[in-house]
Amino acid sequence: MTKRGAALEQDNFSRLLLEARDGDGRCLDSLIAAVYTELKRIAASLMRGRVNGRTLQPTALVNEAWLRLAAGDSQWDNKAHFFGAAARAMRQVLIEEARRRSSQKRAGGAKRVTLRDLDIKAEEPDVDLLALDEALAALADVDQHLARMVDLRYFAGCSLEEVAGLMGRSLAAVKRDWTYARAWLFDRMSAAPCGGTS
């Protein structure tokens, strides 16, 4: 897509957000149609490679996340704000499922993910989604900007270029921040016992 095409798409998306926020039901329907396929692609990517026996499917993840978005304040300013909110909603759904499964098994049956999903170039032990959530919460306490970037990269499936565009930053700055955020999360999650803290 050309820069002009991307700008037009961003403008159209922003217009849909504003009109849906103002209560135009047709625009809300158009907004849903515009993002549903992308959200489903993101959900499928998040679910790929997860532990067998999971009960949540990508469509259910998108539907649950959309219900949370629709029930929220729906005051999204732009595409970055919307996809950040969508990423957080998907993250919450996945965390709740991991907690539910963990409480059912009581022997540490939390959903497992690897740090490979964060593109960390190191020997990577398996960690659970609850530990990732705790590490992201700790990162947000240190730097909300970095935590938002991880949400966009990991939970919304955005490329570095997309993150740069959505956050209005240079690609070089995003690459630097991404390297730092991955290392910070790796250190935090490696130091914590598997399964997170109680």
Q: What residue segments make up the domains of the chain, in order of their start?
A: 3-191
Query: Is 180 a residue whose pLDDT tops 90?
Result: yes
Question: How far apart are alpha carbons 12 and 8 in whole angstroms?
Answer: 6
Question: How far apart are alpha carbons 128 and 130 in whole angstroms?
Answer: 5
Average pLDDT, the chain: 75
Question: Which residues have a Cβ under 8 Å from the Cβ of 89 and sit 6 or more positions away?
Answer: 64, 65, 66, 68, 69
The predicted pLDDT at position 84 comes to 82
Q: How much is the pTM?
A: 0.61
Of 24-38, 93-107, 146-160, 184-198, which range is least confident?
184-198
Distance separating the N- and C-terminal Cα atoms of the chain: 47
HSE on the CB side for 152, CA within 13 Å? 26
Question: How far apart are alpha carbons 179 and 8 in whole angstroms?
Answer: 31
| φ, ψ for residue 51, nearest 5 deg | -60, 140
Task: Please report which residue ranges of the chain form alpha helices under DSSP H.
Answer: 3-21, 25-47, 58-71, 79-105, 129-142, 144-150, 160-167, 171-191
Question: How far apart are alpha carbons 131 and 188 in whole angstroms?
Answer: 9
